[in-house]
Structure 1
Amino acid sequence: MQCVYFLPQEEPVVQGSALCLVAHHDDYCVWYSLERTSSEKNGRVYPARPVCDCQAHLLWNRPRFGEINDQDRTDQYVQALKTVLKPDSVCLCVSDGSLLSVLAHYLGAEQVFTVENSAASHRLMNKIFKANHLEDKINVIEKRPELLTSADLEGKKVSVLLGEPFFTTSLLPWHNLYFWYVRTAVDQHLGPGATVMPQAASLHAVVVEFRDLWRIRSPCGDCEGFDVRIMDDMIQRALDFRESKEAEPHPLWEYPCRSLSEPQHILTFDFRQPVPSQPLHAEGSIQLRRPGRSHGAVLWMEYHLTPDSTISTGLLKPAADKGDCCWNPHCKQAVYFFSTALDPRAPLGGPQTVSYAVEFHPRTGDVTVDFTLSDTLDDGC
């Protein structure tokens, strides 16, 4: 793994020019600067340690910064908001450190409330609103959404409930279904005919062949002349105990893969209705349409802002002829590895279909998945 250090400012360079990369350190940190000549020759004062005082970097990681700065994504939210907002709209925004409230205000909503349940995010959003002269236009509520009272909303009923949704504690794609629970908790504060955006979410899956990522689950066997099969067996027994039946998050734009199947719609979550009391269950099969090794299934969420607008946290466009995938670079996708396909000694060809069973558990908000490789087509699915 390599490390990238972002210089404090861009420096234009030309071929053949001499530059000095200066490394600095104190008791805790190392930082760098680029100089035209060496500091010893020009006697320049060393720059002070770069310290972030904006607080945004404490709350937003780099993928989140990329997401916020994705103009195409922002345009989709703007167009969707234009279809749901009215001059008398009272908006409630529920997402961590979201700028949807700013968009709603500038698009003409009468009143906008945004919920930030941590003191740090509350301070950051207040600074952003103040810098944009919006401190008197958008009300920031520092409270968990499920604890909202009518007094927090100044006695008004919400006509538009907004969410990206994004929550800093989310690891797997379906963890942002917390928005659905928020929608259920604030149901009493929604006015008649209130609009929820996004109106629904859907879970999707595709079977893939990884170029390299499969190696993190593959047995080593002989490594540089050392027999490590004992370690392989120990790791496999630990995985079989639980983790082999769980998906794990990975930023797949960093790990090239080929899709061996078409994307499959698995489950739909209707945010226009409260969270159901009974589990949501789906079973089916995915037919493989390209040759290759089926290393695992990738799962992601798509959020349907309106009937005509969808935000994908996974595949951004249909796979190319050879199956090369283009993934959302700002989100992690869930990867479920097929243990039987991770041994490099396994023959090519393999199964023709992958059967799945997926269940959403309302009591915990968790999604359990199970995939099974089959050598023959299952006509019953």
Structure 2
Amino acid sequence: MLPFTPKTLVLILSLRLRACSSRNLLSLALSAATAIRTMSSGPTQRQFQLRLDPLTGNSEWVIIEEDEDDGGEIFKNAQQPILATTSYLDMLNDSRRNRAYREAIDKAITKPCHVLDIGAGTGLLSMMAARAMAIGDSTTCRNSQGMVTACESYLPMVKLMKKVLRLNGLERNIRVINKRSAELKVGVDITSRADVLVSEILDSELLGEGLIPTLQHAHDMLLVENPITVPYRATTYGQLVESTFLWKLHDLHGNEAKASDGIRLVPTGFESILSAKSQQYAFHCDAIENEIKLLSEPFKIFEFDFWKRPDSHGETELLIKATNDGQVQAVVSWWILQLDFEGRIFYSTAPRWINLPMNTGAGDWCDHWKQCVWFVPGKGISISKDEVVHLHAVHNDISISYNLNTQVPRTEVMSYGFKGGDFQLMLSPEKIAIYGDTEWRSSMLTAIKNALNGRVDPLCIVADDSVFLALVIAHLSKTSHVISLFPGLRGKGLQYLQAVADANGFSMDRIEVLEKKKTCLSMQDTHQRKVDLLIGEPFYSGNDGMLPWQNLRLWKERTLLNSVLSEDALIFPCKGILKACAMSLPDLWNSRRCLNKIEDFEHSVINNTLGACGELPNPQEGPYLPYFIWQCGEFMKLSETFPVMEFDFSKQISKTYGKAQVEFAEPGICHGFAFWIDWVMDSENFIVISTGPEKRYWKQGVKLLATPVEVGNQKSRSTSECCQAVMEASFDPSSGDLIVSHFFS
């Protein structure tokens, strides 16, 4: 019997995500397996993980044993997919980061001391510290008083760290503690306060991994007075920009005004009812450099010193002079890390257009750190060159936020763009852009009108979390009855529909939202009526980081609802087509290539577990990774888009197979394949919604090759190039897994 209830474990998860030292736990949650809690049971350490079934939305708790053999079946089968979808590999391949930390640690640690590494990961920084003190060197270690303590909360990572330390002969010289740093106690876990802190607990926003509370506890309880720290300081910077693309990602009211369909997801007077959350979003701004107009010089926002205890709250008022006429629609921000006391070793996440100091130079593309974007509410603020903009910046323990205007005093700026007490339904920026896209809306409305044509008093079920479809059906058909399942939104979806009903000309007595989640419906739930129309976009709230085919949950739910469907019921969309394209993705591939020596420390032992690409002794199939292709650095299509398999929603869910011939249209180096689903909305195949890279609103699934292949078209083919490939695929409805194999010729 488990000592924790699921409710308690969920609370523990929320605390870990708020301030943890493990790498990218949020990504792990989206990957359907997040570390929850470590507990002690005799000599054995256990940790719970939450596994999510993408086709049902159901989850289960799984226990990981710390004393399992690293080569055991549970570790290989359960842990590898989890770790292979995190950013550890990308981070470890960041040579500029690794070199900066090594130089700073070598410079800071000049004599034996106690070093604490918080968020130790694979132990790279711990090993650097041990080497700086010559710990492990047989000629000096006898007289050395040096000690390294590595603190890492995520048990699967601890297991990998121990393998790395063992491979480098340092397993006896670095003490590994599987706890959060906030759980450490001097005299219990560590013998004395540490003289030096080395850490890398930074996200793209800087604070999101719990930097401030971690440093606060460390200075209060774990470090000596005036400790040495690597890094030494971090400074955040920002710049005012205009960008139509960024505007589309948050201003649904402004974009919807261009639509002539009569549907108002954000009616006048309800401008904030459906919006993206007011926060900074990690974003590869280099990918839209040509779509950004700079409206100011870069400006310094906050400075955080690692060597002293930080405050939980900080704010600053800045006066920023406009350098161009334009519409301020976003604040782009980044940070610069000063790793040493003297200020000679730096690392920056600035976009390419920023002229950095000579010793801060830009490095290779990486995904673990990006720039951040803060959306200015509404259409933004109009400014003229040389006009002064007031920006008020505030930080708390885990985030930074902004308010700005050109003239209003601070008391008014603080409430700019918000209505106190108003209900708000928060969706991702990409979903906001989709709902404001006139082409997408037109396609959806046409399909719904065709489906409702000739049907009197139809009963319609919205199977997913689409508030758009529920609203449109009620608006178009005054006699329809709509049941919205809203598996993720639940009551929030109902509140939203109630708020916008009058503005869209329908009565809420024709719409109901089931109060409890059900695996299937009975005739009692449908008021003894058969369902005429079953629809979805498909869209499931919270699934923004999922792979494209995991939205086939709609097919699973259509199957569970089969008993309440009428004989002539329309399923919408009627089918999905898995599409693919061969891609050149050098930046993405290099960010996930196999590890060998990192600053002279061997890491090859963890390549398979982290899903690395490259020449490995025993290559395994790499994971499918969800990415916005257009944000993956350099990329190029090498083949025409081709269909791999079809999913027929008129039938119940079943195993599906497909085979495709890949013809390479362009010569180049193939690093892998991108996959997505085109949703066919009508039986005539006339209305198709593609989730491919072109619209930039959906993530694709990427399958990287173990080894890149040189390819060419028939006309330019050389003896060393492949001009064709065969792809075979299968979909398993019991697990939602997609299995793809390919053969180059």
TM over 0.5, shorter chain? yes
Do residues 259 (structure 1) and 637 (structure 2) align? Answer: yes
Q: Name the structure 1 match of 2:540.
A: 167
- Mapped partners of 1:313, 1:6: distance in 2: 24
Preserved CA contact (<8 Å) 1:145 1:182 = no
**Residues 53 and 247 of structure 1, relative CA distance in 2, 3 Å threshold:** farther
Deviation at 1:98, TM superposition (A): 2.9
- For residues 233-248 of structure 1, what are the structure 2 equivalents within 5 Å? 234-235=606-607, 238-239=610-611, 244-248=621-625
Q: Name the structure 2 match of 1:298.
A: 674
Q: Which amino acid is 2:696 matched to?
A: P
The TM-score with structure 1 as length reference comes to: 0.81
Do residues 103 (structure 1) and 472 (structure 2) align? Answer: yes
Q: Name the structure 1 match of 2:93.
A: none
Preserved CA contact (<8 Å) 1:78 1:103 = yes
Deviation at 1:55, TM superposition (A): 4.1
1:72 to 439, 446, 459: 439
1:194 to 552, 558, 569: 569
- For residues 51-66 of structure 1, what are the structure 2 equivalents within 5 Å? 54-57=423-426, 60-66=427-433
Query: Secondary structure of the equivalent of 1:153?
Result: coil
Do residues 358 (structure 1) and 733 (structure 2) align? Answer: no
Preserved CA contact (<8 Å) 1:8 1:33 = no
Q: Which amino acid is 1:252 matched to?
A: I
- Mapped partners of 2:575, 2:516: distance in 1: 25
- For residues 369-380 of structure 1, what are the structure 2 equivalents within 5 Å? 369-372=740-743, 374=744, 376=745
Q: Which amino acid is 2:644 matched to?
A: I
Query: Secondary structure of the equivalent of 1:294?
Result: strand
Count of aligned residue pairs for this structure pair: 349
Preserved CA contact (<8 Å) 1:162 1:196 = yes
The structure number with the bigger radius of gyration is 2
Q: Name the structure 2 match of 1:318.
A: none
**Residues 248 and 29 of structure 1, relative CA distance in 2, 3 Å threshold:** closer
Deviation at 1:289, TM superposition (A): 1.9
Query: Secondary structure of the equivalent of 2:525?
Result: coil
**Residues 29 and 176 of structure 1, relative CA distance in 2, 3 Å threshold:** closer
Query: Deviation string for 1:169-225 (max 9, x for gaps)?
Result: 5401001111111111111111121111111111011101125322222357788xx
Deviation at 1:356, TM superposition (A): 1.9
Deviation at 1:227, TM superposition (A): 4.7
Q: Aligned-pair RMSD on alpha carbons?
A: 3.0
Q: Which amino acid is 1:96 matched to?
A: D
Q: Which amino acid is 1:180 matched to?
A: W
2:697 to 327, 330, 354: 330
**Residues 204 and 52 of structure 1, relative CA distance in 2, 3 Å threshold:** farther
- Mapped partners of 1:261, 1:216: distance in 2: 23
Greater shift, 13-22 or 297-306, is seen at 13-22
Preserved CA contact (<8 Å) 1:94 1:145 = no
Q: Name the structure 1 match of 2:490.
A: 121
Q: Name the structure 2 match of 1:313.
A: 691
Deviation at 1:139, TM superposition (A): 1.4
Q: Name the structure 2 match of 1:147.
A: 520
Deviation at 1:19, TM superposition (A): 2.3
Greater shift, 292-301 or 83-92, is seen at 83-92
Q: Which amino acid is 1:271 matched to?
A: F
Q: Name the structure 2 match of 1:182.
A: 557
Q: Name the structure 1 match of 2:501.
A: 132
Preserved CA contact (<8 Å) 2:611 2:623 = no
- Mapped partners of 1:104, 1:47: distance in 2: 39
Query: Deviation string for 1:18-73 (max 9, x for gaps)?
Result: 22322234566532222436x9xx6756625978963422xx22212222222211
Preserved CA contact (<8 Å) 2:430 2:697 = yes
Deviation at 1:357, TM superposition (A): 2.1
- Mapped partners of 2:471, 2:515: distance in 1: 17
Query: Deviation string for 1:329-368 (max 9, x for gaps)?
Result: 221100000121189xxx9964322332211112222211
Greater shift, 184-193 or 168-177, is seen at 168-177
Q: Name the structure 2 match of 1:321.
A: none
Query: Secondary structure of the equivalent of 1:146?
Result: coil
Query: Deviation string for 1:125-144 (max 9, x for gaps)?
Result: 33333332342221112333
Query: Deviation string for 1:147-184 (max 9, x for gaps)?
Result: 32212211111111111111235401001111111111
Q: Name the structure 2 match of 1:319.
A: none
Do residues 273 (structure 1) and 643 (structure 2) align? Answer: no
**Residues 148 and 284 of structure 1, relative CA distance in 2, 3 Å threshold:** same
Preserved CA contact (<8 Å) 2:608 2:619 = no
- Mapped partners of 2:622, 2:568: distance in 1: 41
Deviation at 1:82, TM superposition (A): 1.2
- Mapped partners of 1:107, 1:43: distance in 2: 45
**Residues 112 and 341 of structure 1, relative CA distance in 2, 3 Å threshold:** same
Preserved CA contact (<8 Å) 1:159 1:195 = yes
Query: Secondary structure of the equivalent of 2:555?
Result: helix
The TM-score with structure 2 as length reference comes to: 0.43
Which one has more relative contact order, counting CA pairs under 8 Å at least 6 apart?
1
Q: Name the structure 2 match of 1:33.
A: 403
Preserved CA contact (<8 Å) 2:486 2:493 = no
Q: Which amino acid is 1:23 matched to?
A: A
- Mapped partners of 1:253, 1:43: distance in 2: 39
- Mapped partners of 1:151, 1:124: distance in 2: 22
**Residues 27 and 275 of structure 1, relative CA distance in 2, 3 Å threshold:** closer
Q: Name the structure 2 match of 1:367.
A: 738
Q: Name the structure 1 match of 2:174.
A: none
- Mapped partners of 2:513, 2:620: distance in 1: 40
Query: Secondary structure of the equivalent of 1:196?
Result: strand
2:665 to 281, 289, 303: 289
- Mapped partners of 1:66, 1:242: distance in 2: 40
Q: Which amino acid is 2:406 matched to?
A: R
